[in-house]
Amino acid sequence: MNDEPAFLASTALAILRALPVTVLLSIAGALGASLVAGVLVVAQTTRLFRPLARLWIFVFRGTPLLLQIFMVYYGIAALSPVRHGPLWPLFRDPLFCAWLALTCCCSAYIAEVLRAALAAIPTGQIEAALASGMGQMTRARRIIVPQMLRLALPSYGNELVMLIKSTSLASTITVLDVTGVAELVIAHSYRTLDVFCMAAAVYLGLTTALTALLRRIERGLEGGTQR
């Protein structure tokens, strides 16, 4: 086994080269999911859109992400209005499909986190804001949103960690992210344990870094309330 260090080095390099795909998918997914989750939370406060938002959350939280990814990439892409319509260039791209499924799925989980945070804000606060004559926008900007963010942050962080881990499912529809490249290397080399451990270390690094960052932010926000 003379080529051992060379194999490990080239594998590590290949996996690290795939890191931008995983990071990009995570960031784009987090942005998309948070945005949609915000819309879902607001939609749930209106009578007209509430059932729609509840249905969205029910479906995306109740089915596996893997199935959702296949639904977008193979199912929706096979429908003829999509296949022969203007959206085809998007749905042809596995990275876009993975992002879309990830966004829809995680938005449902994040919406539940935000809704719980919203429910945890004492009603007295909102009544006080009303009594002091704040308009709807001012109330949201100065009373509701800041408290909601602080209350939601720990659970929101958990959802982001889940999201990073979930990006690995993109590899099942040919996206060459960290997991995809690891599988490729294994298919060529028939070595599983060391390659998978390297990929696992990358994800562990990402999730640990995010957790540490979130804890620091949390502590910073706590300092804000003590004053």
Q: Which residues bind other proteins (CB under 8 A)?
A: 58-59, 61-68, 70-71, 74-76, 78-79, 161, 165-169, 171-172, 179, 182-183, 186, 192-193, 196, 199-200, 203-204, 207-208
DSSP secondary structure string for all residues of 200-227: HHHHHHHHHHHHHHHHHHHHHHHHHHH-
* C-beta closer to other proteins: residue 23 or 172: 172
Least distance CB 68 / other proteins (angstroms): 8
* C-beta closer to other proteins: residue 40 or 180: 180
Task: Tell me how far apart the alpha carbons of residues 134 and 154 are, in angstroms, rounded to a whole number.
Answer: 29
Least distance CB 181 / other proteins (angstroms): 12
* C-beta closer to other proteins: residue 50 or 74: 74
* C-beta closer to other proteins: residue 87 or 200: 200
Task: Tell me how far apart the alpha carbons of residues 53 and 91 are, in angstroms, rounded to a whole number.
Answer: 24
List all residues 6 or more positions away from 213 whose beta carbon is below 8 Å from its beta carbon. none
Percent of the chain as helix, strand, coil, to the nearest 5:
85, 0, 15
* C-beta closer to other proteins: residue 93 or 183: 183
List all residues 6 or more positions away from 186 whose beta carbon is below 8 Å from its beta carbon. 192, 195, 196
Least distance CB 38 / other proteins (angstroms): 23
